[in-house]
Amino acid sequence: MAIRLHSFISTGKRYFQVETQPHNITGLFTKISRAYDIGVELVSSTNTWYYECEEEGTVSFYQAGHNNSDDSGIWTYLVYDCPEGQEEIFRESHIDTNTTSLDKLLAGQNLLIVPTDLKEYIQYQLTHNEYLDIQLPFAWYTDEKREIAYLLRDEAIALRKSSIFTQGAGKEYARAAIDLFVQAAEEILEKGGSLEEFEMLQHEILKQIKVKDVANIIVEYNDYRIWHSTLPSKSKAIEYAFNTALLYISQIN
């Protein structure tokens, strides 16, 4: 049975309303701006826009009302397949659907994001979203804490840029390293430790993480261009994995 959702007809799907996140809003904005020369007047004359985030399985709808009417809003849903005839929309009345953030983007302003913790800060940094102005969490606003946060940001970005660490064993290694680095940084924050202490903890953490599989992958590639394009790196995890691979190569020879 076909169902209507924000002017669109859908079959074989169930929709569960969730909170709209900044990347959903910037996704809508990008889609709108590509279709029009950006202008609130142009956008407000349209009916409904949608943006699909395949990675998380969501779809976001922007409905532009007339003269800021109650019809306007942004709704985001998790989407699941279902047998035909079992389609349904599960709405949550407590979720805020206002268009304030999108209105700011349409007016040429970036969205100010203040993450709640260091892990969320790094996740936002990895989005490389030009429309987000990402600030440090409030607890990290001292010179030393800021240095630790920036060190971790650069670590995560370097890992994300290297194809070796975005799939399979490399991805698992990168995830473990970042998770443990963040945990160590939070511990340093609590006890008022220093950048030097944090860097020492990083080295200890890397000795504990399973690196054999990713090091073997580096060896099996047997391509100097990978070494040339990856090293030197701002990531201690990358340097450690490649140094381990170099050790394996020396043992083979």
pLDDT tens for the chain, 253 residues long, are 789 999 889 999 999 999 999 999 999 999 888 877 545 455 554 568 999 999 899 999 998 765 555 578 999 999 999 999 999 999 999 999 999 999 999 899 999 999 999 999 999 999 888 999 999 999 998 899 999 999 999 999 999 999 999 999 999 999 999 999 999 999 998 988 899 999 999 999 999 999 999 999 999 887 888 888 899 999 999 999 999 999 999 887 6
Q: Using CA atoms, how far apart are residues 35 and 137, in angstroms rounded to an integer? A: 35
The HSE-up count of residue 95 (CA atoms within 13 Å, CB side) is 15
Cis bond upstream, residue 232 (ω within 30): yes
The encoded tokens of residue 184 equal 């160590």
- How far, CA to CA in Å, does 178 sit from each of 52, 132, 160, 166? 28, 22, 11, 13
pLDDT at site 1: 76
pLDDT at site 224: 83
pLDDT at site 70: 57
The structure's pTM equals 0.82
Domain ranges of the chain: 3-109, 118-252
The encoded tokens of residue 71 equal 């019809």
Query: Is the Cβ–Cβ distance between 32 and 51 less than 8 Å?
Result: no
Paired strand residues for 8: 5
pLDDT at site 252: 77
How many of the other CB atoms lie within 10 Å of CB of 125?
A: 20
Closest by Cα among 157, 235, 158 to 199 = 235
pLDDT at site 40: 45
Contact residues for 11 (Cβ-Cβ < 8 A; gap 6+)? 1, 2, 3, 84, 87
Angle between helix 143-161 and 118-125 (nearest 10): 40
Query: Is the Cβ–Cβ distance between 132 and 109 less than 8 Å?
Result: no
Please give the sequence-ordered ranges of beta strands (E in DSSP) within the chain, or none if there are none.
3-5, 8-10, 13-18, 48-53, 58-63, 73-81, 88-90, 111-113, 132-134
